[in-house]
Amino acid sequence: MMRRPLALLLSLALALPVQALDLPDLGDVAASELSPAAERRIGEQIIQQIRWRDAAYLDDPEVEEYVNRLGHRLVAASEDPLREFDFFVVRDSTLNAFALPGGYIGVHSGLILAARSESELASVLGHEIAHVTQRHIAQLFGKQSQTSMVMLASLLVAVLAARSNSQVSQAAIAAGQAGAIQSQLGYTRGFEREADRVGLQTLEQAGFDVRGMPGFFERLQRDSRLYENNAPAYLRTHPLTTERIADMENRASSMPYRQVLDSPEFGYVRAKLRAQAGAAADAVRQMQEGVERHPDDAAARYGLGRALLRAARFDEAAAVVDELRADVASSPWVDTLAAEIRLARKDGVGALALLEAARQRHPGYRSLEYALAEAQIQAGKPAAAVVGMRKALTQRGGDARLWLLLSRANAELGRRTAQHRAQAEVYVLRGSVPAAIEQLEIARKAGDGDFYELSAVDARLRELKTRLREDREAERN
């Protein structure tokens, strides 16, 4: 049974300082060792710690939706287009990306900002996707199959620490028998070359500029010479050699040349990350300077509007964004920002009208869906938000944002049973089963649920109590 070793690994990992967990190339685990469902469960437990216990996790639906749309475009062109993937961003200025078991891929915000084109960013995602589809971690863990659990735990601690603190990494390696761990990390160099090859093919099949991959890695290697013993995180977790770059260049040159324009969203996501960095006043000044240099750049103007909103300069933000909406093609990013400004000015009705029209123009954008529910609640229409969230949850039952919005909307309606029932699901997704049970107990006693709703509460309560009991028994054993 894998539950106890996994608990040990995670407990050791979580003993580290709270930072963005960086597991370089931890794609998946061999099917001979674990079932695909177990692989996904390991990834779910790790991502749960990142999303709910790591302050560096970037909880931004627009940014996350962007990397998921970009990532899934690549997955669709990969060797395993039906494999489940989930992409997320951590707030970290270093240049890095990493894969977790079960197809979870993390991207540092610094990497998005460092990419000079969308094809460059896609090349890194394609590389990480290849680590997963080529089952590199299956082989990595297979090599460790005869190693003690202490050694395997030490390896994970070392990898976790390696993201941006080389001293912590060295200490962890020393504590966990350096020779064996160094050998294991070295085993990934062959994986890097295969991920380059497969990632480049995926990049080409997805319609990106394949020269983005060797160009980005060559620049990364060149810039690393300025760091001496403190190389960028990506180079520490992804061994890079001149031979690898030359091989990438040779392969790219044999493929048809394709000029690819960046999507507007690539500019918007980078502008948003810049506008959210540092002090609000500094962000406004930097964004203003950007608009002065490039007055016709929609992304620069968007960034200024975003920075002004953050600085609570709502009237100025509205003027910038309303002018932008009049000048450029309709964008869900710009529409969402315009609605957020209206919500900040307590104009829920205006935000609602704007978002309802935007949803018609841009169906399928989750960030618009969340913003629409916020506007419905503020505009005094929580019942509409309940209908929308329930409909969305039939497709995305694991979306904590939907459950939280559903809980808030029910609270506005005075439906305490439904409110606490939805809040319980938020806690389940956060990995806090005792808190979820407490919410369901409150829901049972609220006194406003009908027979069917209370029956559902009781059934869920029994299920979670059984899960909690099994987890505690596993810990004792």
Query: How would you class 41 by CB atoms within 10 Å of its CB: exposed for 0-12, middle for 13-18, buried for 19 or more?
Result: middle
Residues 247 and 387 in one domain: no
Tens of pLDDT, residues 350-365: 999 999 999 999 999 9
Q: 394: which 2 tokens?
A: 């039939």
Residue 362 lies in a domain: no
2/161: higher pLDDT: 161
How far is residue 241's CA from residue 218's CA, in Å, rounded to a whole number? Answer: 9
How far is residue 82's CA from residue 84's CA, in Å, rounded to a whole number? Answer: 6
Residues 248 and 394 in one domain: no
How far is residue 424's CA from residue 437's CA, in Å, rounded to a whole number? Answer: 7
What's the pLDDT score for residue 174? 42
Tens of pLDDT, residues 364-416: 999 999 999 999 999 999 999 999 999 999 999 999 999 999 999 999 999 99
Q: 144: which 2 tokens?
A: 């460790």
Q: Which stretches does DSSP call E strand in 92-139?
A: 97-100, 104-108
pTM of the model: 0.83
Q: Residue 45: CA atoms inside 13 Å, Cβ hemisphere, count? A: 16
Residues 248 and 386 in one domain: no
Single out the residue of 193, 73, 68, 187 nearest to residue 127, CA to CA: 193
Residues 20 and 167 in one domain: yes
Average pLDDT for the chain: 82
How far is residue 350's CA from residue 335's CA, in Å, rounded to a whole number? Answer: 12
| The residue to which tokens 């190389």 are assigned | 231
Q: Which residues pair with 88 in a beta bridge?
A: 106
318-336 burial, b if ≥16 CB within 10 A, otherwise e? bebbeebbeeeeebbbbbb
Provide the domain limits for residue 445.
381-477
CATH of the domain at 392: 1.25.40
List helix spans (H) across 149-188: 149-161, 166-175, 178-186
Question: Is the pLDDT at 451 greater than 50, yes or no?
Answer: yes
Tens of pLDDT, residues 272-330: 999 999 999 999 999 999 999 999 999 999 999 999 999 999 999 999 999 999 999 89
Residue 373 lies in a domain: no
Q: Looking at 172-176, 196-200, 231-235, 473-477, which range is the least confident one?
A: 172-176
How far is residue 405's CA from residue 226's CA, in Å, rounded to a whole number? Answer: 47
DSSP label of 381: -
Res. 178 pLDDT band, cuts 50 70 90: very low
How many folded domains does the chain comprise?
Answer: 2
| The residue to which tokens 């894969």 are assigned | 99
Q: 179: which 2 tokens?
A: 């020779």
Res. 254 pLDDT band, cuts 50 70 90: confident
Residues 221 and 74 in one domain: yes
Question: Is the pLDDT at 156 greater than 60, yes or no?
Answer: no
Residue 98 lies in a domain: yes
Residue 106 lies in a domain: yes
Domain finish residue from 253, 282, 312? 253
Residues in the chain: 477
C-beta pairs of 157-161 under 8 Å, 24+ apart in sequence: 157/12, 157/13, 157/15, 157/16, 158/185, 159/22, 159/23, 159/24, 159/26, 159/185, 159/237, 160/13, 160/16, 160/21, 160/22, 160/23, 161/16
Domain finish residue from 229, 253, 277? 253
Question: Is the pLDDT at 121 greater than 80, yes or no?
Answer: yes
What's the pLDDT score for residue 40? 75
| The residue to which tokens 């319609």 are assigned | 207
Question: Is the pLDDT at 35 greater than 70, yes or no?
Answer: no
Tell me what the mean pLDDT of segment 207-214 comes to. Answer: 85
End-to-end C-alpha distance for the chain, whole angstroms: 11
Top-ranked range on mean pLDDT: pick from 131-140, 212-221, 457-466:
457-466
Residue 399 lies in a domain: yes
3-state SS, residue 290:
helix
Tell me what the mean pLDDT of segment 237-256 comes to. Answer: 74
Q: Which helix (H) or strand (E) holds 86?
A: strand 86-90
How far is residue 392's CA from residue 232's CA, in Å, rounded to a whole number? Answer: 40
38/7: higher pLDDT: 38
Residue 292 lies in a domain: no
For strands 104-108 and 86-90, give the pairing. Answer: parallel
Residue 95 lies in a domain: yes
What's the pLDDT score for residue 148? 41
CA quadruple 411, 421, 396, 106: dihedral sign: positive
Single out the residue of 356, 360, 357, 317 nearest to residue 338, CA to CA: 317
Q: Are 53 and 18 in contact (CB under 8 A)?
A: yes
Residue 50 lies in a domain: yes
Tell me what the mean pLDDT of segment 245-250 comes to. Answer: 77
Res. 230 pLDDT band, cuts 50 70 90: low
List helix spans (H) across 206-312: 212-224, 233-237, 242-253, 264-275, 280-293, 298-310
Tens of pLDDT, residues 423-445: 999 999 998 999 999 999 999 99
Q: At 128, which amino acid appears?
A: E
Q: Are 389 and 369 in contact (CB under 8 A)?
A: no
How far is residue 345's CA from residue 312's CA, in Å, rounded to a whole number? Answer: 9
Domain finish residue from 253, 286, 307? 253
Top-ranked range on mean pLDDT: pick from 30-34, 45-49, 160-164:
45-49
